Structure 1
Amino acid sequence: MAANPRNGRPYRRLCTAQRALLLPCWWCGKPIAYELTGLAAQRHPLAFTLDHLVPLSRGGDLTDPTNARSAHRRCNSARGNRTDAARQPVRSSRRW
């Protein structure tokens, strides 16, 4: 069985570099709670997660910096594997 590539050094390095940019969520444009780390970040909907412009399920590269985007955990989950061309508001009816 192959190891999980998200546990590898290149992916972790990409996450660290993307997090250091302190960018807003590329999907909704709102600030990300970068101060959340550890278990809190794994569960909090506004925590940072690395999203991919071209979803991995559609051939996107896991460790390509040009495919990496900063996103809220909930935006990334709600987006699923939609591409930017099929962009629709993730939470048009939700309030922050």
Structure 2
Amino acid sequence: MPANPRNGRPYRRLCRDQRALRLPCWWCGEPIRYDLTGYAAQRHRDAFTLDHAVPLSLGGDLLAKANARSAHRRCNSARGNRTDGQRQPVRSSRRW
């Protein structure tokens, strides 16, 4: 069974380089909480995650810098594998 490429050095380097840019979320345009690291970043909805403009499930390249985008964890999860042309607003809650 091949190793998971997301655990490899090239993927971690891509995440580090993208994080260093300190860009706003490419999906909603709001600032990302780059100060969150470790366990807090894994759980917080406004933490940085590496998103891919062309989803991996649709043939996007995992390690291509041109495909890497900075996103909130919530935006990345809400987007799923939709492309930019299928953009839908991110809803934070169903409660009124």
When the two chains are superposed, the root-mean-square deviation of aligned CA atoms in Å is 1.3
Question: Secondary structure in 1 aligned to 2:28?
Answer: coil
Percent of paired sites with the same residue: 81
AA paired with 2:23? L
After superposition, the Cα gap between the structure-2 partners of 1:35 and 1:92, relative to the gap in structure 1 and judged at 3 Å, is closer
Residue 21 of structure 2 aligns with an amino acid whose one-letter code is L
Structure 1 partner of 2:22: 22
Q: CA deviation at 1:79?
A: 0.3
State TM-score, norm by structure 1: 0.93
Residues 1:53 and 2:68 aligned together:
no
TM-score w.r.t. structure 2 length? 0.93
Shift of 1:92: 7.7
**Counterpart of 2:17 in structure 1: which amino acid?**
A
Give the CA deviation at 1:88.
Answer: 1.6
Moved over 6 A (4+): none
Partner SS state of residue 42, structure 2: helix
Residue segments in structure 2 that go unaligned for 5+ positions in a row: none
Structure-2 residue corresponding to 1:31:
31
Q: How does 1:1-96 map to 2 (within 5 A)?
A: 1-91=1-91
Distance (Å, rounded) in 1 between the aligned partners of 2:6 and 2:59: 16
Aligned residues: 94
After TM superposition, give the deviation of residue 90 of structure 1 in Å: 1.8
C-alpha distance in 1 between matches for 2:87 and 2:40:
29
**CA apart distance, 1:4:** 0.8
Helix, strand or coil for the counterpart of 2:70? strand
